[in-house]
Amino acid sequence: MQENVVTNLEQVTIEWRTAVLYESGALSQGMVVGFDVTGGRGNWSESGSLQLAYSPDAQGERPSRLFLKLVNTDIGDEESFGPSEVDYYRRDYVDVPDAPLLRCYHGGYAATIRRYHLLLEDVSASHQVACDQPPTLAYGLALAEAFAILHGRWWGAAGLAEANAPLHDTAHIGRFVTIAEPGVAHIVRRVANELQPHWPAAMRDIFARHPQAMIRRSQDANGFTLIHGDAGCYNIMVPRDGVRPLYLIDRQPFDWSLTTWLGAYDLAYAIAMEWEIEARRQWEQPSLRHYHETLKQRGVQGYAWEQLWDDYRLCVAMGVYIAVEYCRGRHNPETQWVWLPMLQKTLTACDDLNCAELWTQTNSELP
């Protein structure tokens, strides 16, 4: 263990487990006397589900199951992600009592070894990833509410200044776009038969003109906040019965990701890039309306519905960047089941919502 960061499951002793439960307030008397560990792995992490046993005199919350996540943030290819996920649970929303986050009992990040750990509540018995059930209007409303609760905390120029999270500059926005751009040619060359005839030209137009619309929009901070940034269905935990409470997990941005951006982006990712097309067409506007109303209830003022709708459409097109980035080095058949449906859904949404109108107008206004 270096700098109080757990780097492997063997370091999780009874003594450590007891100490962190006392520190978190989940144990006020007694001790952990035993636990079973079931290991697992993610893309960049090792994990363990801990089943705990306590001494007879133990008092307090005494959670019976916990989830330990151990992450190496150095993922190669000159990319990495830092302490964002630790900050997500341990800093950014600790003063938001109804935040849609898992309870965090302990966490730490060590810059010197580029690793972190998180000890979270284990909700696997009551929840599943959102991919395992089709969306409904009730789910869309719950999801919109959850994002509004998070976004409202750091909304606009004042919120981002308090968070010490400045808006991204032109260079960062440019990197976010250009890192994905080579994927267009690989995709068009290999899976053109899976695309509508006008989509290759539409993708090239997005890369050519949409970034300028992003840059222009970033000149006004109203609508910007700390975002999750990766609101795919695997990062949303929903109840096996019902839709509340749901949890937004795994905020792990790359160093080129957008972390302070339009709140509408998280909704665009979750809805336009993920939902089946007919579900989106039916429920995206009611979900966005509820998001807008919840923002107002959380104290956000001066953000018009019309602006949210335009921001959402601008962010829908960003799904093209997310999808084609999977193929930035080559056609990637191993993950085609992820990126191709995402691309098809995004481009269909761009057509349905006439998203191109936004960057066509933006560029016609430039000197």
Residue 245 clears pLDDT 80, i.e. is over it: yes
What confidence score (pLDDT) does residue 360 get?
87
pLDDT (tens digit per residue) in 185-231: 999 999 999 999 999 999 999 999 999 999 999 999 999 999 999 99
pLDDT (tens digit per residue) in 150-184: 999 999 999 999 999 999 999 999 999 999 999 99
What confidence score (pLDDT) does residue 2 get?
46
Residue 240 clears pLDDT 60, i.e. is over it: yes
> Looking at 65-74, 102-111, 144-153, which range is the least confident one?
65-74
What confidence score (pLDDT) does residue 145 get?
98
Q: Give the H/E segment covering residue 71.
A: strand 65-72
Residue 45 clears pLDDT 70, i.e. is over it: no
Question: What's the CATH code, domain 129-364?
Answer: 3.90.1200
Q: What's the rounded Cα separation, in Å, for the pair 163 and 225?
A: 9
Residue 16 clears pLDDT 70, i.e. is over it: yes
Residue 129's beta-bridge partner residues?
237
Strand 236-239, strand 224-226: pairing: unpaired
Q: Where are the chain's structural domains? A: 9-121, 129-364
Fold match flag (9-121 vs 129-364): no
Tokens read off for 92: 């950014």
Specify the CATH number for 9-121; select among 3.10.450, 3.30.200, 3.30.420, 3.30.70.
Answer: 3.30.200
